Structure 1
Amino acid sequence: MTVRLDQVPALAPRPVRPRAWLWLGVFPLLLLLLGVGGMFLFGTQALREQPVSFWGLAFGVPLLGWCLLSFGRVLLYLGQQQVADGWDQAREEDLIQKLRRGRRVQQVLAVSLHTALREPEASSATQLKALLDGVKALKAQPSRQDQSVLRHSRIAGDTAEVPELALHRVLTQMLADLAPSLTQVPDATPLALLLEVGSTLPENVWQRVWRQAWSESGIRQSTVLVEEDGLEALDQWLDHRIGDQALLLVVAVQFAPQQPEGTAEAAVGLLFGNRLTQTVLPSMAYLHRPEQEREPTTDALLYAASQALDWVPLDAQSIEQTWRVGVDTQRDAALTTVLADVSIPVKHNQGFYDLDAQLGHPGKASPWLAIAAATQTIQSGAGPQFIFSGGGCVDAGLWSTVLTPVPSLSK
């Protein structure tokens, strides 16, 4: 279940301390007056003729009553204090447990990213430089479906290539990027697969292409599909499978989308490991728990962004690059407000990368594309990265995610 610090109960209300002026001044005097007055009104003539007994009762009974009432009041106060202390201690333990769970991280172990900015034979470094330089691949060009000219970006390749063959080529290249890391992992290591594909190709077609590319990759580990989608799958993994020996392989592809206008083709492969159990492969970066806004409002997005930073924990001023992807233009004002309120240092055309403007909307691949680009940026020597990402559904809440470099052993 999602970690919600805003649902942690409040501290227990503290009892009011007994007022000294009331219990040492007013109450004793009032009880004495009642005691003396009662003796004069209800005492017998014989009792009045015995001054010691008369005054003993007149002062003794009120004093005894005051002692009993004071003792009861002190016991009530101490009991309320103990109840409040017990509540606060249980709350503190629950809060610590939630913080520990919320601050779990995933190791990013391998990355493959293919967009329109990466030529078939080009290196990932060339693509990353183009992204960081703000090169735009979003342009008017023929679509794969009917060759109608629409503004979108396509994964580089022969424009006349059969879509099935083009997808097979892209998947083969992506798996070739990931295979060297997986060859270092024992064959028996479980591999959980999150496969997200958005395409006009029928599901049975792209599934067949995927199986063919996988069988040709030489990767020996067997896979089990993950049921959840998007960053929700990662959030659930951090909650329930942080102690697993399994690695999480994410393959996210948008290829020949249904409505190409304003979209981006992208193929992303990411390999994640649990820091507590995975010791074979070196980490490229740490991916911290993503936080999703609960409703499409500025306040909800601000809470999500602040909480994502707190999971690290990290000062917003430490963020070196901020990425935006899969975000509808209607949220521009909200993003601007949130960036200012959390004090993430962002300058125009410097440190802020709008992948939607550069490539187009990548659909289901949106968050993974940004994570891959941010990881490669960290590998090039950059510091912490922040990501605002949407997904395949426009109405879905935006996610805030932080990636940080792996601490150096020399520090």
Structure 2
Amino acid sequence: MPVTLDKIPPLAPRPARPRIWLWLGLLLSGLLLGVGGTLLFGDETLPQKPDEFWRLALGVPFLSWCALGFGRMLFHIGEHAAADGWDEAREEVLIRKIRQGRRSQQVLGVSWYTALRAPGEPPASQLEALLSATKALKAQPSRLDLTTSGHSRLSGGTDADLKRTLQRILASVLADLAPTLARLPDGAPLALLLELDSGLSEDQWRQVWQKAWRGSGIRQATSPVEGSGLAALDQWLDQRIDDQALLMVVAVRFAPEQPEGTAEVAVGLLFGNRLTQTTLAPIAYLHRPEEKRKSTSDDLLYATRQALDWVPLDAQSIKQVWRVGIDVQREAAIATVLTEMPVAVTHKQGICNLDALLGQPGKASPWLAIAAATQMIESGAGAQFIFSGGGAGTDSLWGTVLTPVPTLSK
């Protein structure tokens, strides 16, 4: 569930102070009424008894005024106490919400493959290709029916047996993460978020996954994670921040049924909770993602600012912006946000549009950008910002920040 600070009630209204002239006028009016009332309705002998006359004419109104003023003062103090209590409770809720919103995950392991990474090449090669705007999106036969369409395909996957090709891809991802997991005990809990978008049926690709997992040599048993995309990560930060388990994400887009404008990618990520994970050194910190709630530029601007505030981070600290899984219709909204935010990037430098270079990665969109941004941080770069959607036909759009690990904590 998103952490929403704008839904917190405002500060309590402060009670107005008693108006001194009103109370002085009330005192004078009471005294005049007391004298007049005593003269009109008092005993005929009262004028011959001045002490008793003035006690009755002035004393009673004055004492009544004092009692009324004391009651008004108590009421005013009570209103202040109630307002203070409201504000203190609101402050506690606000602090709790901010602490909850500023939770983050350690990025412990990364594996990512795109069409720009040839077999045997290190991941840095595809990062350099992306940063130099090398385009892999081109017209080529699809895997399923060999019709020509504009898309990008993972390198080294020309085998006609799609299941065997997918198994090789999954095996490569798991092989990259296995050395990190090998440093943990066999019984270490491991949660798995598996997102696979493929032209293969679910039964087929799950069989392939099981075979790749058995051959990976990873000793830890996994438990499934409900949800998908960054919403699942957001839910993890809310509900499982004290969990001992690591979170493994494996996201693959392979042989889509409609390949036009798509990208084949394979991503593996390993996350750890900062409160419980102390064995492995983190590569970067992934902070709470923020989703826009309405289809407006203002709401996207709010989500972007909130994502930065969760760090907290000055927009000038952002050294690279990544865009992925975003429809053309949202180009203007993102351009507006980048204009409003004083980020140290421009449309010609510091912004990498993965959709334009690779095609849309579908469900793997946010994970691909996180992997690329983590690789960027690992190479020595500063904070990274990600705009990620779910591809064509989806309305979700998230803002996410990754930051380097402070030197003293490494």
Q: Fold conserved (TM > 0.5)?
A: yes
* CA drift at 1:348: 2.7
Report Cα offsets for 1:17-64 as digits up to 9, x if no partner. 1122222x2121111111111112212212233222112211101100
* 1:102-151 alpha-carbon deviations (Å, 9 max, x no partner): 10110000000001011111110111111111111011111111111100
5 Å-filtered alignment, 1:6-405, equals: 6-23=6-23, 25-392=24-391, 394-405=393-404
Aligned-residue CA RMSD (Å) = 1.2
Distance in 1 (CA, whole Å) between partners of 2:333 and 2:29 is 64
Q: Separation in 2 of the partners of 1:357 and 1:126?
A: 18
Distance 1:393 1:71, change over 3 A: farther
Are 2:326 and 2:391, in contact at CA under 8 Å, matched by a contact in 1? Answer: no
Give the letter aligned to residue 403 of structure 2: T
For residues 286-329 of structure 1, the C-alpha deviation after alignment (integer angstroms, 9 at most, x for no partner) is 00000101122111111111110000000001000000000111
After superposing the two structures, state which structure 1 stretch, 187-196 or 392-401, moved more: 392-401
- The answer as to whether partners of 1:324 and 1:389 remain within 8 angstroms in 2 is yes
CA, structure 1 residues 161+123, in 2 after alignment: closer, same or farther (shift >3 Å)?
farther
Q: For 1:396 and 1:211, how far apart are their aligned partners in 2?
A: 32
SS of the residue corresponding to residue 342 of structure 2 reads: coil
Q: What are the Cα deviations for residues 213-267 of structure 1, in whole angstroms up to 9, with x where unaligned?
A: 1100000000001011110111111111111110000000111112100000110
Unpaired runs of at least 5, structure 2: none
Q: Deviations over 1:321-373 (max 9, x none)?
A: 00000011101111011112222222133110100001000000000000000
Cα distance in 2 for partners of 1:157, 1:8 equals 53
Question: d(CA) in 1 for partners of 2:178 and 2:102?
Answer: 29
Out of 161-170 and 144-153, give the one that drifted further: 161-170
8 A contact 1:296–1:397 mirrored in 2: no
Aligned partner letter, 1:11: L
CA distance in structure 2 between the partners assigned to 1:56 and 1:171 by the alignment = 99
Secondary structure of 1:52's counterpart equals helix
CA apart distance, 1:391 = 1.2
Q: Please tell me whether the aligned partners of residues 325 and 392 of structure 2 are also in contact (alpha carbons under 8 angstroms).
A: no
C-alpha distance in 1, partners of 2:334/2:278?
A: 38
Aligned mates of 2:230, 2:347 — CA distance in 1: 28
Question: Residues of 2 paired with 1:160 and 1:176: CA distance?
Answer: 20
Runs (4+) off by over 6 Å: none
Q: Give SS of 1:280's match.
A: coil
Contact 1:118 1:124 in 2 (8 A): yes
Question: What is the count of residue pairs matched by the alignment?
Answer: 410
Residue ranges of structure 1 left out of the alignment (5+ in a row):
none
The answer to whether the Cα contact below 8 Å between 2:326 and 2:392 also exists between their aligned partners in 1 is no
